[in-house]
Structure 1
Amino acid sequence: MKQKTLKYLSCITFGLSIWTLTGCQTAPVTGRSQLSLVSADQATQMGLSEFDKMKKEQKISTNPAENALVQKVGKRIAEVAGKDMPNAQWEFVVFDSKEANAFCLPGGKVGVYSGILPITQDEAGLATVLGHEIAHATAHHGDERMSHQMVAQEGQQLIGTALGNKSQTTQQLAALAYGAGSQYGVLMPFSRKQESEADHIGLVYMSKAGYDPKAALAFWQRFAEYNKQQGGGTTPGFLSDHPVDATRIADIQKWLPEAQAASNQTSK
């Protein structure tokens, strides 16, 4: 029985290994090797389509001060990030919403929810947020995440094939074990890694754009306090797709010298 189980696991591991070696790329700043099963063109087209849909379905802010601020900071960050995504079609839109969030879709389409602006407070705070979100796009985190989900689905299919002659109960237990293992052991830790990497890259971007990277510490401290007020921040780290606030702040502190050095190099 143990030999058969090991045989099934070996087949699955081998299949996933071959699958994950079919494509790779490198993230900017960190140099991390990435899995890439989705082309940049495919991801960009999906991003453009989704952004057009959002602009039709969600209320866009008409506040001139909010729009001017986002355009100003966004263009400064995009200018330094552009070399990492030369074919980007940059666009910055403020959505009128109480949600404290922002995003950047593949291809350079950036959305900022007005609810986050009271937390950013100033240009440097907003640069922290936009640097982070733009870093997700330049590091191709969206298509990388889709690639990992494709691998997870392929693993699920391989398990079904390997255990095809077993009882339904055995198949269901194996599927549940694989689902939990891939979600909490692979996908969530990977999501946290992407968020941390976006913090790292974004810190360098905002510094190169002329903003004091130490402002990122102040922003994330304010955001941590906002999370507490909203009843968040209590989820155990291993169950979260984002780094816990304390970890995020400690990491930013660690990356500050690198970001400041990047700013000095840009000035020279």
Structure 2
Amino acid sequence: MQIFFDFSGYSDMAIGLGRALGFRFPENFDQPYRSLSITEFWRRWHMTLSRWFRDYVYIPLGGNRRGPWRTYFNLIVVFVLCGLWHGAAYTFLLWGLYHGALLVAERAGGGALLARLPPALAWALTLLLVVVGWVFFRAGTLSHALAVLQAMVGQVSPDAFVDLAVVLAPDKVLFFTIGWIVAVWPVGRRVRLAGIDSLGVAPRRWLRQLASLGLFTYSAALVATNGFNPFIYFRF
């Protein structure tokens, strides 16, 4: 969730600032954690980078026009370069290889199997695969990544559960829950609040602006009290 909101958040800030100056930038994220496959995930995650690699690397290499094996090779090359684009480290290289291998597996028949699964199960499996990949993306070293993966399957000392209880304070649980709702709630649907829909256009607009101002003020207060916390993607 930190990776998603960090990158999606400042992409939206750039889009908004650009629009204020008269520029129209394309959307960069489309609720990627709602994806039912890794292929769909990459159509929703960092869409501008995906299109750039498609147009300037994947298609010039031949795309999917030269048979399945050449397609698999092209996908691996694209995602190895995608990993190295984020940083010259083994963790990013493995992250790129991991996603390239998943896309090859879907092309080779795994995608058809996912399509036959119930949507909830396909979503859960896709999300699990994405989260496992984020371990390599977020960890500083390979040993750190392996330690996190071991903890994810239960190979962890009892002290870790005590540390987890300290980290999961009530306010963090609340924000984590809200974050997941925002990340996976269908954009085309909105929550209908009693009495709000009966208001006119102007009152609804004022309420939306007041709510946005309140959230902005509260967020600014949190940033001020938590000290310097740079964007993750400033490293790239």
TM-score bin, normalised by smaller chain: under 0.3
Q: TM-score, normalised by structure 2?
A: 0.26
Q: TM-score, normalised by structure 1?
A: 0.24
Larger strand fraction of residues: 1
